[in-house]
């Protein structure tokens, strides 16, 4: 069963929350972070993307960047931008995007649960990305990035969290520049804290990483290093846990994660369309973009026209990986026709989150940068759970979750 703990969150003064809050460090470039933080000395990018405060051209993985992050975090505390709660708390974090709300519990999840499979994964991690977060955690002595977890709904937890929101005023409530509303409540009552901890221990057999595999892996590796150096004082030491926000599955939505390819691998457009008909029904739907309406349906943009592709029977298997649309597209189009065998490394393919819309796909093809685009039906949360439960991993760039949690609203120190 899932082990979670309250913790003494490091968080902004109420009047500064909107200015501190920053998008996750890995969804924008250093240049974009520098623009986002311009004129705002309180932006958490000064901690999560601290290269913005160093000379242009600084290696973002250099020790100078990690040292600057630690310096900036300490400055925020010294100047009163951030303060630490005096007692361990849970935090309720509600996000509203385009009228849809999702409410999660910010807590410290067990590294042991991550190591032994109570917290389930669905992606491979890359050592260089793990090392970046390891260096950041060790320099700042803080987990500044939130890991987004999901769990199968527990009615008692939903009722408890809903009741707390109704009965208590939020600590923060603001709408960011992108129109997403962020509301946070602090759960400090010992009885409520104890009840939440017990409900997870009794009712939640597993949690699933939705977003943040590298952050989770790095927290595990830091804990291992601290244990080997005998730096851990007890089982409740903060380094034995990592910063997470856990959402009930029923409230989550996964957006499509679409593909663009730079060339047709020597095929003409007419030849590609002809070859596609072996594995798909192909329908020209004109110039107006249409999102796929169901599983195994794809939208393709080629030479100014949108096409509806529907996978024929026999082009996919029914196992958790084989039935995924990303797998169907990879095997029957990207590899078979366009020669892209490894989408992780091939420079001819690019990926665009569904938050950008189909218009972005058309724009990049029309500009001549790309030759063809494919839009996919989103993976379902149940498909994600099935793959994690089976011990498999998703193909690369399969899921895009929105809205994104903001960094800086709650940090765990270690």
CA angle 142/23/29 to nearest 5° reads: 100
> What is the model's pLDDT at position 51?
97
Mean pLDDT of 79-103: 96
Q: What are phi and psi of 349, to 5 degrees?
A: -115, 145
Tell me, yes or no, whether 73 and 193 share the same domain: yes
Which residue's entry shows tokens 């509303």? 181
318 within domain boundaries: yes
Model confidence at 270, pLDDT cuts 50, 70, 90, reads very high
b (16+ CB within 10 A) / e for 86-114? eebbbbbbbbbbeeeebbbbbbbbbbebb
352-362 mean pLDDT:
88
**CATH number of domain containing 353:** 3.30.1760
Predicted confidence (pLDDT) per residue in 225-253, tens digit:
999 999 998 999 999 999 999 999 999 98
Is residue 386 in some structural domain? no
Statement to judge: residues 269 and 223 lie in one domain = no
- Is pLDDT of 215 > 90? yes
Domain count, the chain: 2
Closest CA to 188 of 277, 73, 85: 85
What one-character-per-residue DSSP string does 147-205 give? EEEEE---HHHHHHHHHHHHHS--SEEEE-TTS-EEEEEEE--HHHHHHHHHHHHHH-S
Going by C-beta distance under 8 Å and a sequence separation of 6 or more, which residues neighbour residue 345?
none
pLDDT-based confidence at 402, cuts 50/70/90? confident
Q: Whose CA is closest to 122, among 357, 383, 338, 326?
A: 383
Percent helix, percent strand, percent coil in the chain, to nearest 5: 35, 25, 40
Q: Which two tokens stand for residue 213?
A: 């595999």
pLDDT cut 70: percent of the chain above it: 100
The reply to whether 19 falls in a domain is: yes
- State whether the Cα torsion 107-115-399-21 is positive or negative: positive
DSSP-derived secondary structure letter, 371:
S
Same-domain status, 84 and 109: yes
What backbone phi and psi angles, to 5 degrees, belong to 360?
-65, -35
Residues 244 and 288 in one domain: no
Question: Is 51 within the bounds of a domain?
Answer: yes
Same domain as 231, residue 111: yes
Residues 268 and 198 in one domain: no
What would the mean pLDDT of 355-379 be, rounded to a whole number?
93
User: In the β-sheet with 257-261, what is the strand arrangement from edge to edge?
Assistant: 280-286, 305-311, 297-302, 372-376, 257-261, 349-353
- Taking 90 as the threshold, does the pLDDT of residue 115 lie above it? yes
Whether residue 202 sits in one domain with residue 246: yes
Domain with 208 in it: 4-253+402-413
If asked whether residues 370 and 273 sit together in one domain, one would say: yes
On the CB side of 203, how many CA atoms lie within 13 Å of its CA?
15
The answer on 227 and 168 residing in a single domain is yes
């Amino acid at each position: 069963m899932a082990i979670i703990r309250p913790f003494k969150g490091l968080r902004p003064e109420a009047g500064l929350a909107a200015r501190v809050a920053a998008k996750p460090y890995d969804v924008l470039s250093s240049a974009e972070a520098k623009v986002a933080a311009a004129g705002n000395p309180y932006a958490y990018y000064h901690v999560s993307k601290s290269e913005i405060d160093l000379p242009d051209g600084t290696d973002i993985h250099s020790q100078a960047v990690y040292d600057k992050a630690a310096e900036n975090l300490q400055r925020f505390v010294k100047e009163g931008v951030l303060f630490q709660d005096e007692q361990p708390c849970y935090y309720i974090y509600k996000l509203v995007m385009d009228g849809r709300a999702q409410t999660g519990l910010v807590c410290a999840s067990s590294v042991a649960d991550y190591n032994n499979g109570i917290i389930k994964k669905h992606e491979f991690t890359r050592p260089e990305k793990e090392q970046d977060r390891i260096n950041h955690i060790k320099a700042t002595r803080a987990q500044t990035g939130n890991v987004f977890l999901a769990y199968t709904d527990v009615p008692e937890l939903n009722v408890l969290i809903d009741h707390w929101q109704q009965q208590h005023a939020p600590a923060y409530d603001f709408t960011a520049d992108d129109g997403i509303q962020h509301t946070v409540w602090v759960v400090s009552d010992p009885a409520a804290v104890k009840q939440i901890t017990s409900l997870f221990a009794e009712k939640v057999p597993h949690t699933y990483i939705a977003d943040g595999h590298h952050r989770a892996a790095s927290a595990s590796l830091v804990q291992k290093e601290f244990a080997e150096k005998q730096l851990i004082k007890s089982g409740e030491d903060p380094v034995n846990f990592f910063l997470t926000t856990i959402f009930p599955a029923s409230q989550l939505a996964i957006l499509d994660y679409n593909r663009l390819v730079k060339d047709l691998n020597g095929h003409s457009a007419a030849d590609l369309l002809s070859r596609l008909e072996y594995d798909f029904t192909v329908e020209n739907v004109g110039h107006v973009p249409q999102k796929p309406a169901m599983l195994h349906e794809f939208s393709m943009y080629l030479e100014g026209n949108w096409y509806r592709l529907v996978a024929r029977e026999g082009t996919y298997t029914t196992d958790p990986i084989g039935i995924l649309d990303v797998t169907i597209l990879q095997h029957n189009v990207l590899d078979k026709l366009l020669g892209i065998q490894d989408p992780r490394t091939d420079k001819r393919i690019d990926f665009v989150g569904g938050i950008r819309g189909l218009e972005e796909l058309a724009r990049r093809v029309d500009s001549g940068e790309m030759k063809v685009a494919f839009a996919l039906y989103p993976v379902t949360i149940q498909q994600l759970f099935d793959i994690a439960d089976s011990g498999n991993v998703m193909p690369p760039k399969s899921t895009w979750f929105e809205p994104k949690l903001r960094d800086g609203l709650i940090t765990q120190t270690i």
